[in-house]
Structure 1
Amino acid sequence: MSELIQKITMPKWGLSMQEGKVNGWLVHVGDTLRQGQEIVEIESDKIAGALESSVEGTLRRVLAQEDEVLPVGALLGVVAPAEVSDAEIDAFIEAFAAGFVPGEGSGADAGSRVQYAEIDGRRIAYTVQGDAGPALVLIHGYGGDKNNWLFNVDTLAERHTVYALDLPGHGDSDKALPADAGPAGMAQVVLGFMDALGLDAAHLVGHSFGGATALAAAQAAPQRVRRLHLIAPAGLGAEIDADYVRGFAATNSRKELGRLAARLFADEAQVTRALVDDLLKFKRLDGVPEALAAIAAALLDGDAQRMQLDLPPGVSATVIWGELDRIIPVAHATALTSAAVHVLPDAGHMVMMEAAREVNRLLGA
């Protein structure tokens, strides 16, 4: 009956994750698990979050204990129906341990390694995962990168081919910006990216500045957008935390970066020292301060947002917002009158991290 046994393993959240710490189980042996249910809290060196179950059935065995640090791919638990004997589960666990090599078969490595596309003379970094269903392109926000989607990619890849790119000036992409550093210029990069990968049309998922970029791409080429999925997007109203935008571009202080990053989350404990260290390393790369300053100038007119975007005819959209967003007010969520709007409680600007399960459900729908 070994074919009835399913495993729960340490996830790989982001390309650099090698191990994770078990902070605590949210379910108990004997519980019936549902697909997508949060089952165990995991902490990596970058961020903490809840692992969602990818399987359904009865949790028969818990192997990873609280505070235990295990490599990516390690066995955390076993799910199996009642007719599978304890001896068969013991044999499964023994066989897994005998064949497990840390660093091999850890899930996202092969599909999510960084690749590059040449677009208008710039090298644009991206990852791709999954090969089922229509293409879905993830566009991060100002100062972010493709790893902002680390809690979303695995789930979305079950039903889509998922591309997560680094916009110019960000992540592993070239730091030189298009002449228009605002959403319209970045939209041309996204459309060029789709051209380079042979994507005639795709779902566009944009967060914050990436949301404005996705909206601008839909305005420029509506026939290439299957649907817009806008997560706390810029460009729908005047109000914005301009102090955050300018401060992030200007500072090279670890303390100040930590203070600014805390505004992104409803739960400020999400901002780990490792996260701030990564931001600091990014800020110190050649060309990054200039790129961020140029984007900030394109985004802001004084303390207000410069652009006011609208949904082009014939393009449908979903808008997702964290109720406790401190960067762009949730009141903007209803600006696109024909869009389906979802406001999620207890989440801030990084709602796709803080409410990943619900965001994944909405995107999957």
Structure 2
Amino acid sequence: MSSTELPAVPPTSVLPEAAAVRVAEGERLRSVGLPGVTLSVRSRPPARAGLPPALFIHGLGGSSQNWSQLMERLEGVVDGEAVDLPGFGDSPPPDDGDYSVTGHARAVIRYLDAAGRGPVHLFGNSLGGAVATRVAAVRPDLVRTLTLVSPALPELRVQRTAVPTVILGVPGIAGLLTRTTGKWTAEQRVRGVLALCYGDPGRVTPEAFEHAVEELERRLRLPYFWDAMARSARGIVNAYTLGGQHGLWRQAERVLAPTLLIYGGRDQLVGYRMAHKAARSFRHSRLLSMPDAGHVAMMEYPEAVAGAFRELLASADASGGGPVVPGAGS
């Protein structure tokens, strides 16, 4: 594993066209070379030495920046790192072009194996929740606890507002969207995303909105932006159709780690109704329902999510941390 430190971008600076992604005060970003993939990893120094490691995995179209607020609030609890999945954030596309849920999970496993940080407290949002579920199922030795925020697990009846994400996975649609939305400004796109992902978009500060626009403008300049989005969306759809031992719900039943499930009542992408199915499927689970939250509760209500994780951690510590079983490799 090779690692290269990336230059930090001051929070108040304007990103030049070729600059790296924004790095908040107190964070650092480094590039980690692994077989077949290079990952950008965001970290925040823990408040003290010896804290247990944690890894955060973002959702479709997101990046490690989605976890910055939560990581800051947990710096006294865990030694946190957030990864940019291949093709997102500051991570280039995977060498093999595999954007499936399994492909993303394989990249996470390779990083954890190479870093030697496991078992970790593993967090996942949306697509990252599906990826984290697969990692926890196939490599229980790498996962101490599992926290899933609106995980993208199969639904029999997809919400109407989630249909565009499903359509994005159809071959050829990405090129069509590139042509038909070419005149949309980054501001228009960001407002649309916030309306879809937040329970209350008004909670986004003007500074956070400006940062999101800058990041999207940077991403749109990347030649693989739409391909990564479309192939990852297709990966979610394909994962929904898998049955047997590879099905995500079957894998959820295999997870041994204590699990915190967080669902938002205003989530337009993952059905709130799936919360109780998830609570039944993960054997050692606790459920936090947040009626006012949307799809990214860790960004809307980071204090509440941090508090729920602390409770999970206290419970796991009291019971000995839950079972850890040797894994069989990626």
For normalisation by structure 2, the TM-score amounts to 0.72
Change (3 A) 1:364 1:146: same
> How far has the Cα of 1:18 moved from its partner?
3.1
| 1:309 has 2:255 as partner | no
Q: Which runs of 5+ in 1 are unaligned?
A: 1-13, 20-44, 46-105
The answer to whether the 8 A contact 1:247-1:260 is kept is no
Give the equivalent residue in structure 1 for 2:298: 352
User: Where is the helix percentage greater, Structure 1 or Structure 2?
Assistant: 2
> How far has the Cα of 1:327 moved from its partner?
1.1
Counterpart mapping for 1:247-326 below 5 A: 250=177, 251-252=181-182, 253-254=184-185, 255-269=188-202, 270=204, 272-300=209-237, 305-306=240-241, 308-310=247-249, 311=252, 312-326=254-268
| 1:331 has 2:289 as partner | no
Query: In structure 1, how many angstroms separate the alpha carbons of the residues matched to 2:303 and 2:116?
Result: 30
The answer to whether the 8 A contact 2:9-2:24 is kept is no
* Structure 1 stretch displaced more, 276-285 or 154-163: 276-285
The answer to whether the 8 A contact 1:203-1:228 is kept is yes
The answer to whether the 8 A contact 2:40-2:90 is kept is yes
Task: Tell me the percent identity.
Answer: 26
The answer to whether the 8 A contact 1:322-1:330 is kept is yes
| 1:149 has 2:67 as partner | yes
Counterpart mapping for 1:1-365 below 5 A: 16-18=10-12, 108-109=25-26, 112-129=27-44, 130=46, 131-176=49-94, 178-238=96-156, 239-240=158-159, 241-244=162-165, 246=167, 250=177, 251-252=181-182, 253-254=184-185, 255-269=188-202, 270=204, 272-300=209-237, 305-306=240-241, 308-310=247-249, 311=252, 312-336=254-278, 337=280, 338=283, 339-365=285-311
The answer to whether the 8 A contact 2:263-2:275 is kept is yes
- Name the Cα RMSD after superposition: 2.8
Query: In structure 2, how many angstroms separate the alpha carbons of the residues matched to 1:278 and 1:267?
Result: 21
User: Where is the strand percentage greater, Structure 1 or Structure 2?
Assistant: 1
AA at the equivalent of 1:18 = T
Q: Deviations over 1:201-244 (max 9, x none)?
A: 11110000000000010121112211111000002424250314
The answer to whether the 8 A contact 2:125-2:151 is kept is yes
AA at the equivalent of 1:181 = Y
Query: In structure 2, how many angstroms separate the alpha carbons of the residues matched to 1:121 and 1:224?
Result: 20
AA at the equivalent of 2:213 = V
Task: Choose 1 or 2 for highest CA Rg.
Answer: 1
Aligned length: 264
The answer to whether the 8 A contact 1:202-1:226 is kept is yes
Query: In structure 2, how many angstroms separate the alpha carbons of the residues matched to 1:211 and 1:342?
Result: 15
Secondary structure in 2 matching 1:152: helix
Higher relative contact order (CA 8 A, sep 6+): 2
Query: In structure 2, how many angstroms separate the alpha carbons of the residues matched to 1:169 and 1:117?
Result: 14
